[in-house]
Structure 1
Amino acid sequence: MTVQTSLEDSRSVRLKAATRDSHGALDKRIMAGDIFADRSNFARFLRVQYRFHRSIDALYASPALDALLPDLAERRRLQQVRSDLQDLEQALPGEDIIALGNDLPLPTALGWLYVAEGSNLGGTVLYKMAAALGLDRDFGARHLAAHPDGAARHWRGFTAALDAVVLSPAQEQEVIDAADAAFRSVHGHVEVEFS
């Protein structure tokens, strides 16, 4: 017997609902940093992005994850963030960044990747705002630029693969806990860079 899962019951929709508070708090904190006031503030935001993407970079090199999430390796954005920082003549954040291994339990890795890929979708809004600072896909804001196929289509491809992974109820909770931890981790990076 095949059980059909409706869009409303999908893992990605449940994740969005379960992490609404931590995601909302992070968005408010980032915007409170007035990241589009000038390039200096935007550079702080880039350092936050670098810290986060440096911490999860190994996940994009995991063969096991790549088998479940097509095109995972090409979704990697660490080098783009690094180039954006270099465009603005910024030093890379220090070696205090704790990197996750590519051997995380599957549910934990999925939760962190959900946050990373969701930030890519949300980045398209920030990309338009970065234009006021003279930043674009060729200088300073390349990591925010939409995928050539379109941000929404790229996101739907990721969530379809994410939703298709078979997990137990306990593992479902682990995915939620990991996504919440990822949002809190980024919030911590914001506090480091904007304090």
Structure 2
Amino acid sequence: MTASSQLSHPLRSQRLNQITHEPHSKLDALVKSHDPFGSPERFARFVAAQYLFQYDLEKLYNDPALIALVPDLSARCRVEQARLDLADLKHAVPEGDDSVRGQSLGLGAAMAWLFVSEGSKLGAAFLLKRMPALGLSETFGARHLGEPEGGRAQGWKQFTAILDGLELDAEQEREAEVAAIAAFERFVVHLEHCFA
């Protein structure tokens, strides 16, 4: 599902926002249906899904070519925070899938996967407000929702400015669109697996 011709916004980040609106809405509804804030046990399943998604992306966050574009990229990865959260919640760390993690992605696709991950940090601010009711915080059980160094808004602005400034050819643009949707679909797979 790509609709480049219907996407009017000149900024790549805004076009990716437009193209992922539907999968994003579906994911939000799915998260709500699993009631991850109903108990610490349910939240632990949500964190397990977050861990698996961050595990998928860990190699991208540590890719030297991408770090050349986004200097603080490796510090943005939340796989370790999610692992520590699972320990706090006394939940086993699920086994990640190295077939996805090791796939070779072009620049457009790689940045689109990171775009979805980085964008989720904005919503994490709202989720963090629900943590005290579960006895959790950004230092215990919900580290992966914590405020990034320099702030959420600033980190997002810096990332999208780099994304929007990249020179991509038509094929890379198409790959970015496909990858952004694939990233949401991948999180759905993890969520369903962890709440099964």
TM-score by length of 2: 0.91
Unaligned 5+ segments in structure 1 are: 1-7
Please tell me whether the aligned partners of residues 58 and 79 of structure 2 are also in contact (alpha carbons under 8 angstroms).
Answer: yes
Partners of 2:52 and 2:96 within 8 A in 1? no
Once the two structures are superposed, residues 56-114 of structure 1 have per-residue CA deviations (whole angstroms, 9 ceiling, x without a partner) of 10001111001112310110110000000000111101254644237421111111101
Q: Determine the C-alpha separation between the residues in 2 that align with 1:95 and 1:137.
A: 24
Root-mean-square deviation (Å): 1.4
Which residue is equivalent to 2:5? none
Equivalent residue number for residue 56 of structure 2: 55
| Shift of residue 10, structure 1, vs aligned partner | 0.8
In 1, Cα distance between equivalents of 2:41 and 2:48: 11
8 Å contact from structure 1 (residues 61, 102) kept in 2? no
Match of 1:183 in 2: 184
Q: Helix, strand or coil for the counterpart of 1:9?
A: coil
Stretches of structure 2 that go unaligned for 5 or more consecutive residues are 1-8
- 2:147 is aligned to 146
Tell me which residue corresponds to 1:10: 11
AA matched with 2:116 = V
8 Å CA contact 2:56–2:97 kept in 1: the answer is no
Matches within 5 A, 1:9-158: 9-96=10-97, 98-101=99-102, 103-158=104-159
Do the aligned partners of 2:11 and 2:164 also contact (CA within 8 Å) in 1? yes
Name the count of aligned residue pairs.
188
Q: Are the equivalent residues in 2 in contact too, given 1:85–1:140 (CA < 8 A)?
A: yes
Runs of 4+ aligned residues of structure 1 deviating over 3 Å after TM superposition are: 95-99
Q: Which amino acid aligns with 2:184?
A: F
2:64 maps to amino acid: P
Which amino acid in the other structure matches residue 83 of structure 2? R
TM-score, L = length of structure 1: 0.91
